[in-house]
Structure 1
Amino acid sequence: MLRFFFFNLLGNIIPMPIALICVPVISRLAGVDRLGALGIVWALVGYFSFLDFGLSRVVTRRVAHAIEKDRLQDELSELRGFFLWWAIPLMLVIALVLLIAGSWLSHIWSEGPIAMEIESAWVWIAWCVPVTLATNWFRGMLEGMQQFGRLNVLRVIFGSWNYAAPAIIVFWQPNLEAMIIAIVLGRFLALIAHVFACLQVDRQIVFGAAPRKIDSLGHFFREGGWMTVSNVISPLMVYFDRFLLATMLPARAIAWYVVSLELMMRTTVIPAALASVLFPKFSGANQASEGGVEAHLYERGIRIIASIMLPVCAIAVVLSYEGMKIWMGESFAINSYRIVEIIAVGIFVNSVAQLPFAWVQGTGRSHLTARLHFAELPMYMVGLYFAAINWGILGAAWMWTIRVSLDCIVLLWMGPSAVRRKIFPFVCLGGVFLLAISFLMDADLSISGKETLGILSILISCCISWFIFLPQNDRKELVKLSWSITKIFG
């Protein structure tokens, strides 16, 4: 488990320095307004990329089960048939719908030159979506076969491309159309690379009989139907704030919000890396089991995530202003550092929630997460609109944090009750601690006072993570590992 987690973590973390370098380049050469609009385009493509009707996770589950039951070739045959006869036509329909709706969607968030640039590049965005959906399908295959090494090499390359390509092209063409085309080109290359990786693992993933079974359509959507609801609504709640703000505020304000949110969202690659490793293992768990191996992995995973993310979020709160000032400039920092502080609280809670979410879906109860998201959506939309009208981007940040906190509480309740009783106090402690740091750092303190408070806050967060969150066995393993490293380097 730790080896796969390490692979996933590296695959998600390595592109982050690329993003840190490229985002200021885009801001300075193309302008903050275009950066804000590009953030909306990233969100739009990201949202529709999640719209795979839960099928990528169904593929992962089915492949993992087939390997366990020694019937992989039969399963691959059925999966090929479904992909060829049903999934590809569905993806093409999605692309056509986007093409038809392009003139309306491209003007939602902006007018003038920026809207014209997005509209001229809309055909690229529309065809990018089915390509990304197909890539997700092959990624699900590789995850089911636990090919995390190959997957994360591809994730590093194309995760970096997503930021590096527009930053490079902006030197010659500082407009949105050129940057969007550069991003979409990377999506096409990613599909080709994932197909090639599947061929290296097992040619039967791509080549072989592809039976056209009418009943396979119903079977897939019965299994993935509730995941479909979650996969449509959950990303909608993730990205809805950006789309709403785009209709209410200038692109510059959207950039302050989107860049701050995206910066913090990058840290969720840590829990996501562990959740993607544990999801296939949860697929074989008995949902009623309280003391099984899977439940132990579930608790251990949550505690490890909490122990890592609390210091990360504490550092983000402490360095919110100075960090943004160094990265994006003083003017940007003044308008965005409070967003980082607020979102950091939600990021900690949301990171913990990724394991309960994987547990519930992995144990075959995706209908519960779907119903939760279906109930959350209208309340979140109304609350977000009210908060944005009255408090702008700060109100939107608070609503995002409140929503993910409530979401985490409910998801923990759906998990094993014995684990819930142990974990819930940790979540409350971490959230309250981060809120306290944020409040104190904004108090009228001297520079030396803030520096002292910041150092103490980070040290305290590390102590909480080590002595309270992290399991004792893992502390012992880390101590042994540190001694081994010390001996190696003398």
Structure 2
Amino acid sequence: MLTNTAWNLAGLGAPILAAVVAMPLLISQLGDARFGILALGWMVTGYFALFDFGVGRATTRSMAALRKAGAGGEHAGVFWNSLYVHAVLAGLGGLVFAAAVPWFVDTAFAIPPTLRDEAYAAFYWLAFSVPALVLASALRGPLEAEQRFDLVNAVKMPISALNYLAPLLALQFTQRVDTVIAVIAVSRWLATLAYAALCRRAVPLQPGHRAPQRGTVTALLKDGGWLTVTSIAVPAIMMLDRGLIARLVSLEAVTYYVVPYEVVTKMWVLSASLLGAAYPLMSASKGLDLHRLCDQTLRWLLVTATPATLVVLIFAEDLLRLWVGPHIAAHGAPVMQWLAVGVWINILAQVPLTALQASGRAHVVGSVQLLELPLYAVLAWCLILRYGTTGAAAAWAVRAAAEWLALSFALHRAEAHPGRWPAVSPLRLALLSAAIIAAGLTACATPLALKSLLALLLVAGLVAWQWRYLLTAQERGKLLARLPQRPATK
């Protein structure tokens, strides 16, 4: 699982690095207006990728479980039926996007008349790319079920980076944004073809079993539908808090919230990498095996996410001042600190969330998230009215904590786990909470040299404690074995 996590981390990190390099160059070469069309295109296409309706992840779960059970015929049946469902959804998604292009250009985004022709062509190219995104999900699922994250990320890394770097290449020949987006659309179809070739080579399928099966299709759509609720819940929460801040405070305050949010939520790469690798294993596990796997992933997330959270808590204002200047730093530092705590909790909540989805209980996760949305809206409204953007961040952290507790309780009840998880014993949670509080107090220290010294002592002490008490002797040995060995001297 460590190797697969490393592959996932590379696959998720590549587009982040590409974006850091490419974004300033794209803005300067395209200009603000044309880059705005490109950014809107990225956003809208991301939402239309949800036309997968969670069937790709449902396919991974079903195929991983059947693979362990040795049910070769059913394994192949799930693959082909998933492909049929995705083909229909892909065509539907592309047609809906194409039909919505006039509304996007003329009404929703109010594109200036001078750029309208380019925008129309650009958005039609994006409509052409939507089926590629949906079909790619159909082909990634079986590879992940086979634990071939090396192959998945061998395609994902360059294609994700090309999403930002390909426009730079196109801009050497033209300034038209539709040509830039055409290059992105073609690269997405190339990725889909690459996934198809890898599936043909790496996914063992028994001959036959290609006929559509109503029961399999219904099961995939039902499971995928509840998975889609989770995919929609996160954007809904994002739109809710930003909308409330704009309405109750000001548009400027949205910037003070969004900038630290974009920084802090990059820590989600840690949970996405690890749990992406753990999901097929959880899908094939039950009872005590699932319990041990959950405890192991939770401990590893604590080991990686907690030190990063302490650094953000301590240096929030300094990081923002260095990146975006003192004005936004002064308003955004408390927001960043509250969000850091919330993201840390949310990373831990991903363990029971993933385990419930992997064990076929996606409806439990969806029900919890649907229930929490109106409660979160009320809490965010009250705290924003009283504390502004800091209140919004505090509401986000409280919501994350409530979700973690609810999902952990649901998993405990569903799997009838004996006793507590060792990783979240009361003593360990108390010590980790004390470290978080100490980091908040350290953030008030001045000058910067004293703050840095205190931060070094706190983080070093935490890492030493985690190494000794959160990791097992076997895990410590595996990690040490992966370190480069110094050649022996003669």
Cα distance in 2 between the residues matched to 1:135 and 1:227 = 17
The Cα of 1:60 is off from its aligned counterpart by 0.8
The Cα of 1:5 is off from its aligned counterpart by 2.4
Q: Which residue of 1 aligns with 2:124?
A: 123
Counterpart of 1:462, as a letter, is: V
Cα distance in 2 between the residues matched to 1:190 and 1:308 = 31
| Bigger-Rg structure (1/2) | 2
Cα separation, partners in 2 of 1:244 and 1:32, compared to 1, 3 Å: farther
Cα separation, partners in 2 of 1:201 and 1:98, compared to 1, 3 Å: same
Asked if 1:406 is matched to 2:426, the reply is no
Cα separation, partners in 2 of 1:435 and 1:476, compared to 1, 3 Å: same
Q: Which residue of 2 aligns with 1:276?
A: 276
Cα separation, partners in 2 of 1:326 and 1:194, compared to 1, 3 Å: farther
Q: Which residue of 2 aligns with 1:4?
A: 4
Asked if 1:434 is matched to 2:430, the reply is no
Asked if 1:90 is matched to 2:86, the reply is no
Which sits farther off after the overlay, 307-316 or 98-107? Answer: 98-107
For each residue in 1:76-116, what CA deviation from the matched residue of structure 2 results, as whole angstroms up to 9, or x when unmatched?
Answer: 245324523x4322332233333444455568986565996
Q: Which of 325, 340, 347 pairs up with 2:343?
A: 347
Gaps of at least 5 residues in structure 1 are: none
SS of the residue 2:218 aligns to = helix
The Cα of 1:248 is off from its aligned counterpart by 9.1
The Cα of 1:343 is off from its aligned counterpart by 2.4
Cα distance in 2 between the residues matched to 1:155 and 1:343 = 29
Cα distance in 2 between the residues matched to 1:419 and 1:59 = 31
The Cα of 1:235 is off from its aligned counterpart by 4.7
Q: Which of 310, 316, 320 pairs up with 1:320?
A: 316
Identity %: 23
Counterparts of residues 95-174 of structure 1 (less than 5 Å)? 95-104=94-103, 113=112, 120=120, 121-166=122-167
Asked if 1:356 is matched to 2:369, the reply is no
Instruction: Determine if contact 1:24/1:328 at 8 Å carries over to the other structure.
Output: no
The Cα of 1:478 is off from its aligned counterpart by 3.8
For each residue in 1:379-405, what CA deviation from the matched residue of structure 2 results, as whole angstroms up to 9, or x when unmatched?
Answer: 334544666677665444333333222
Counterparts of residues 50-449 of structure 1 (less than 5 Å)? 50-84=50-84, 86-104=85-103, 113=112, 120=120, 121-166=122-167, 180-181=181-182, 183-202=184-203, 210-237=210-237, 241=241, 257-258=257-258, 260-286=260-286, 289=287, 292-327=288-323, 336-384=332-380, 394-416=390-412, 417=417, 418-420=419-421, 422-423=423-424, 425=426, 426=428, 429-430=431-432, 433-434=435-436, 436-438=438-440, 440-441=442-443, 443=444, 445-449=446-450
Cα distance in 2 between the residues matched to 1:489 and 1:14 = 37
Cα distance in 2 between the residues matched to 1:159 and 1:3 = 20
Instruction: Determine if contact 1:260/1:336 at 8 Å carries over to the other structure.
Output: yes
Cα distance in 1 between the residues matched to 2:47 and 2:92 = 17
Q: Which residue of 1 aligns with 2:463?
A: 462
The Cα of 1:29 is off from its aligned counterpart by 5.6
Counterpart of 1:156, as a letter, is: M
The Cα of 1:143 is off from its aligned counterpart by 0.5
Instruction: Determine if contact 1:78/1:210 at 8 Å carries over to the other structure.
Output: no
Instruction: Determine if contact 1:49/1:129 at 8 Å carries over to the other structure.
Output: yes
For each residue in 1:324-379, what CA deviation from the matched residue of structure 2 results, as whole angstroms up to 9, or x when unmatched?
Answer: 45555666656655544332222211211222111111222222111101112223
SS of the residue 2:284 aligns to = coil
Counterpart of 1:447, as a letter, is: L
Instruction: Determine if contact 2:54/2:224 at 8 Å carries over to the other structure.
Output: yes
Counterpart of 1:79, as a letter, is: F
Cα distance in 2 between the residues matched to 1:433 and 1:239 = 32
Cα separation, partners in 2 of 1:422 and 1:79, compared to 1, 3 Å: closer
Which sits farther off after the overlay, 225-234 or 294-303? Answer: 225-234
Counterpart of 2:340, as a letter, is: A
Cα distance in 2 between the residues matched to 1:306 and 1:124 = 43
Cα separation, partners in 2 of 1:189 and 1:21, compared to 1, 3 Å: same
The Cα of 1:472 is off from its aligned counterpart by 4.6
The Cα of 1:34 is off from its aligned counterpart by 8.0
Cα separation, partners in 2 of 1:94 and 1:424, compared to 1, 3 Å: farther
The Cα of 1:304 is off from its aligned counterpart by 0.9
User: In the comparison of the two structures, how many residue pairs are matched?
Assistant: 482
Cα distance in 2 between the residues matched to 1:165 and 1:226 = 35
Cα distance in 2 between the residues matched to 1:276 and 1:373 = 20
SS of the residue 1:470 aligns to = coil
Cα separation, partners in 2 of 1:420 and 1:202, compared to 1, 3 Å: closer
The Cα of 1:457 is off from its aligned counterpart by 3.8
Cα distance in 2 between the residues matched to 1:48 and 1:432 = 43
Which sits farther off after the overlay, 371-380 or 339-348? Answer: 339-348
TM-score by length of 1: 0.81
Counterpart of 1:293, as a letter, is: D
Cα distance in 1 between the residues matched to 2:291 and 2:369 = 24
Cα separation, partners in 2 of 1:213 and 1:294, compared to 1, 3 Å: closer
Instruction: Determine if contact 1:32/1:251 at 8 Å carries over to the other structure.
Output: no
The Cα of 1:174 is off from its aligned counterpart by 7.4
